Amino acid sequence: MKKLMEQIIKFGFVGFLCFFIDYGIMVLLTDRFGMDYRVSCGISFTVSVIVNYILSVTFVFETDKKKNRSGEFVIFVVLSLIGLAINEACMWLSVEFLGIHYKLSKIGATGVVMVYNFISRKIFIEKKN
């Protein structure tokens, strides 16, 4: 149980950092460059996924060092694309149907995707003992 709690804390720190990367790029592209929030959200999410992968396999999850890193990254990307779909759906529902500002919607969407990410990566990325 202690190991799981430590892992959740590390995952939280990585997620917190990647959230700021994701959020910062989204706001920059939308507010400064006039990009539609749905496009900027996809771009920022993609950048944060790459950073998240590197930090997750380095600091959070115990991965099999003998495992094919390319294959592992493909799994990570597929899981992240599902996360992106969840993120985009949350953003769309929040902004278009609930009338919540996109910046606030992003925070809620991130919370939902964070839970999905931890569970899916724990199941598919972490080394099985």
Segment 72-111, tens digit of pLDDT: 888 888 998 898 899 889 999 999 999 999 889 988 998 8
Segment 83-93, tens digit of pLDDT: 889 988 999 99
Planar angle of CA 40, 10, 103, nearest 5 degrees:
25
Rounded-to-integer distance, Cα 85 and Cα 34, Å: 22
For residue 93, which of 76, 74, 112 has the smallest C-alpha distance?
A: 112
